[in-house]
C-alpha cells in the first residue's frame, strides 16, 4: 500500500473537527477513494459508502426533507446492510459532484454531529452552479493530488532517515555527497517519467517495466478524454479536448506562455477560454499566472490574461510526448526547448502539491524572465529552473532590485551560495 500524506490530514480532521464534514477534492484516479476506504477501516466500527456515479439511484435518498433521520431512512432502503452507529460511523459520499443535493446535505450532517462524514469529488469545479446552497461553515475542504516526489521516494523504498538527511542539507545550505546527489537525480528522473498516479506507481514498483508504466498512463489519458466527452458542456467538448492535447506543444515552445493559436490556427481566448477553464476546474491542469511586477503581495499583480498551463501529473505529460521521451529523460540526453518546458512542469508539480500558488514573472520586452515566484517573509522570492547548468542572467538582474532578499536557482547542480543566489538540486524543492 502506498503511503500518502493525506492520511495524516484525515486523522487530524477526525480529532479536531467541530460540526463539520470533510470534502476531499482532486482529479480522477489520484487515489481519493482508496485512501478514504482505508482510513475508515482503521478508525470506525461502521462504514457507509455511497458512490453516486456507480449507483445513481441513491440520488433519490437526497430528495425531499434533508434531516439526518429522513436521509438515513432513504439510504437504508437502497443499502439494507448500512449501519449508522452514533460516534462510530463514517459516511462516505464518493463522486458527490454527481448529486448536488448531497452536497447541500453536508450542513445537516454536520449540525446533527452523530456521524463523521467525508465527501470526495473529481469534477467539483465544473458543476458548482448545480449546487443550490453550499454548506459554508460546515465543510472543511482539502485538495488531494497524485503522489508528490517525497511520496514517490517512500514508494520506491527510500528511508525517512535519508530524506531527513537531505532536508538538513537544504536547511543548512550544505553540499550533498556527490554519490548521493547522483542517485537522487536518478530518482527524480524516474519520477518525471512515472509521475504520481497510484496505479502507475504501483505498476512501476511491481514490474520495473517502463512499457507497462506507459500503458497505464495512456489508459488514464484516455479516461480523461472520455471525461471531457462525457461531462464538458456540449459547446466545449471538442475545444477542451483540443486544449488538453495541445499542452505538450505549448511547453515545447521557447515561450511557454499558453497560446490559443497553438490549439488552433487563429484560435482566440473568446473561443477556447471556457474549455481551458474546464480542464483546470477538473483538476487536470494548473495555471501559472504572470505578474506585472515583483512586489508583495503577489496576488495583487496577477495578469489574468497571461499564464502558462502545466499538467497536473508529471508522468502523464511525459507520456503524452510518446514512449521514446522516457528514455531521453532517464538517460538525460534530451535537449532543446521541450526539455526546459518539462523541467518547468516538474517544478510546477512540486510546488502545486505543496499547495503553493503558481506565479511567474516576465517583462513585456522579454529582457527578464523568472520561471516561478514565491513569497518569503513578505518579499518576492524568485525561482529559476534550469534543465542543465546554464547561466541565470535574469535571476542575477532581479537580485539587484529593491525588496528581493535572495533567490533560488534549481537544476542538476549541488548546493551552493553566491551572494544572494542560492543554488540547489531540483529534488530539494520538495522542502520549500
Q: Is there a single domain that holds both residue 257 and residue 340?
A: yes
Q: Residue 304 has what pLDDT?
A: 93
The C-alpha cell that represents 278 in the structure block: 474546464
Q: Residue 389 has what pLDDT?
A: 72
Please report which confidence band the pLDDT of residue 367 belongs to, taking 50, 70 and 90 as the band edges: confident
Q: Is there a single domain that holds both residue 159 and residue 62?
A: no
Q: Residue 124 has what pLDDT?
A: 67
Mean of the pLDDT values across residues 208-217?
A: 98
Q: Residue 60 has what pLDDT?
A: 95
Q: Residue 336 has what pLDDT?
A: 86
Q: Residue 118 has what pLDDT?
A: 98
As for how many domains the chain has, the answer is 2
Q: Is there a single domain that holds both residue 217 and residue 117?
A: no
Residues with Cβ within 8 Å of 418's Cβ and at least 6 positions away in sequence, in order, are none
Contact assessment for residue 96 and residue 126, using Cβ atoms and an 8 Å cutoff: no
User: Does the pLDDT value for residue 133 go beyond 70?
Assistant: no
The domain that holds 61 is classified in CATH as 3.40.50.300
> What's CA 288's distance to the chain center, in Å?
13
Q: Is there a single domain that holds both residue 358 and residue 291?
A: yes
Please report which confidence band the pLDDT of residue 128 belongs to, taking 50, 70 and 90 as the band edges: very low
Please report which confidence band the pLDDT of residue 165 belongs to, taking 50, 70 and 90 as the band edges: very high
Please report which confidence band the pLDDT of residue 148 belongs to, taking 50, 70 and 90 as the band edges: very high
What CA–CA distance (Å, rounded) separates 375 from 417? 19
| Pairing assessment for the beta strands 416-418 and 407-411 based on DSSP bridges | unpaired
- Domain for residue 129, yes or no? yes
Burial class (CB in 10 A: 0-12, 13-18, 19+), 402: exposed
What CA–CA distance (Å, rounded) separates 154 from 160? 8
Count CB neighbours of 45 within 10 A: 11
Mean of the pLDDT values across residues 324-347?
A: 95
Q: Residue 44 has what pLDDT?
A: 98
Q: At what angle do helices 32-43 and 6-16 cross, to 10 degrees?
A: 50
What CA–CA distance (Å, rounded) separates 139 from 400? 45
Q: Residue 130 has what pLDDT?
A: 52
Where a domain ends, among 93, 123, 143?
A: 143
Percent of the chain with pLDDT strictly greater than 70: 97
Percent of the chain with pLDDT strictly greater than 90: 90
Q: Is there a single domain that holds both residue 177 and residue 28?
A: no
Q: Is there a single domain that holds both residue 331 and residue 213?
A: yes
Q: Is there a single domain that holds both residue 139 and residue 159?
A: no
Q: Residue 387 has what pLDDT?
A: 81
Any bridge partners for residue 379, and if so which? 376
Please report which confidence band the pLDDT of residue 299 belongs to, taking 50, 70 and 90 as the band edges: very high
Average pLDDT, the chain: 94
User: Does the pLDDT value for residue 126 go beyond 60?
Assistant: no
Q: Is there a single domain that holds both residue 279 and residue 378?
A: yes
Where a domain ends, among 75, 108, 143?
A: 143
- Domain for residue 15, yes or no? yes
Q: Is there a single domain that holds both residue 239 and residue 216?
A: yes
- Hey, is 418 helix, strand or coil? strand
Q: Is there a single domain that holds both residue 139 and residue 170?
A: no
23-62 pLDDT, tens digit per residue, is 999 999 999 999 999 999 999 999 999 999 999 999 999 9
- Domain for residue 1, yes or no? no
pTM of this structure: 0.94
Q: Residue 51 has what pLDDT?
A: 95
User: Does the pLDDT value for residue 125 go beyond 70?
Assistant: no
What CA–CA distance (Å, rounded) separates 309 from 252? 12
- Domain for residue 38, yes or no? yes
Q: Is there a single domain that holds both residue 116 and residue 175?
A: no
Q: Is there a single domain that holds both residue 186 and residue 96?
A: no
Residue 355's domain spans which residues? 149-431
Where a domain ends, among 106, 126, 143?
A: 143
Please report which confidence band the pLDDT of residue 364 belongs to, taking 50, 70 and 90 as the band edges: confident
- Domain for residue 393, yes or no? yes
Closest CA to 101 of 144, 56, 143, 137: 56
Amino acid at each position: 500500500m502506498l503511503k500518502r500524506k493525506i492520511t495524516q490530514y484525515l486523522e487530524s480532521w477526525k480529532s479536531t473537527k467541530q460540526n463539520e464534514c470533510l470534502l476531499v477534492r482532486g482529479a480522477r484516479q489520484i487515489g481519493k477513494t482508496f485512501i478514504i476506504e482505508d482510513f475508515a477501516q482503521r478508525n470506525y466500527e461502521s462504514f457507509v459508502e455511497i458512490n453516486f456515479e456507480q449507483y445513481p439511484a441513491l440520488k433519490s435518498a437526497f430528495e425531499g426533507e434533508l434531516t439526518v433521520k429522513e436521509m438515513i431512512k432513504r439510504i437504508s432502503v437502497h443499502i439494507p446492510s448500512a449501519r449508522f452507529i452514533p460516534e462510530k460511523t463514517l459516511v462516505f459520499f464518493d463522486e458527490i459532484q454527481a448529486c448536488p443535493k448531497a452536497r447541500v446535505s453536508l450542513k445537516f450532517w454536520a449540525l446533527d454531529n452523530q456521524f463523521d462524514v467525508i465527501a470526495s469529488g473529481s469534477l467539483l469545479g465544473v458543476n458548482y452552479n448545480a449546487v443550490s446552497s453550499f454548506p459554508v461553515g460546515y465543510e472543511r475542504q482539502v485538495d488531494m493530488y497524485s503522489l508528490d516526489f517525497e511520496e514517490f521516494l517512500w514508494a520506491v523504498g527510500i528511508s525517512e532517515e535519508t530524506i531527513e538527511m537531505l532536508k538538513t542539507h537544504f536547511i543548512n545550505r550544505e553540499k550533498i555527497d556527490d554519490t548521493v546527489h547522483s542517485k537522487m537525480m536518478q530518482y527524480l528522473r524516474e519520477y518525471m517519467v512515472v509521475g504520481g498516479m497510484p496505479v502507475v506507481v504501483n505498476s512501476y514498483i511491481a514490474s520495473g517495466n517502463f512499457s507497462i508504466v506507459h500503458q497505464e498512463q495512456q489508459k488514464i489519458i484516455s479516461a480523461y478524454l472520455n471525461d471531457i466527452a462525457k461531462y464538458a458542456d456540449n459547446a466545449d467538448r471538442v475545444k477542451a479536448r483540443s486544449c488538453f492535447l495541445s499542452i505538450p506543444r505549448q511547453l515545447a515552445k521557447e515561450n511557454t506562455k499558453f497560446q490559443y493559436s497553438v490549439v488552433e490556427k487563429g484560435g482566440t481566448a473568446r473561443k477556447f477560454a471556457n474549455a481551458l477553464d474546464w480542464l483546470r476546474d477538473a483538476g487536470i491542469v494548473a495555471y501559472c499566472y504572470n505578474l506585472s511586477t515583483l512586489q508583495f503581495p503577489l496576488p495583487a499583480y496577477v495578469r489574468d490574461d497571461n499564464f502558462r498551463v502545466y499538467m497536473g501529473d508529471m508522468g502523464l505529460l511525459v507520456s503524452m510526448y510518446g514512449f521514446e521521451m522516457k528514455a531521453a529523460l532517464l538517460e538525460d540526453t534530451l535537449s532543446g526547448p521541450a526539455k526546459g518546458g518539462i523541467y518547468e512542469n516538474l517544478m510546477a508539480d512540486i510546488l502545486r502539491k505543496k499547495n503553493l500558488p503558481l506565479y511567474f514573472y516576465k517583462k513585456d520586452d522579454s529582457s527578464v524572465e523568472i520561471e516561478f515566484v514565491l513569497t518569503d517573509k513578505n518579499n518576492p522570492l524568485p525561482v529559476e529552473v534550469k534543465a542543465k547548468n546554464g547561466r541565470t542572467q535574469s535571476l542575477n538582474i532581479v537580485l539587484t532590485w529593491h525588496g528581493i532578499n535572495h533567490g533560488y536557482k534549481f537544476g542538476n547542480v549541488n548546493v551552493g551560495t553566491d551572494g544572494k543566489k542560492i543554488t540547489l538540486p531540483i529534488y530539494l524543492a520538495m522542502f520549500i
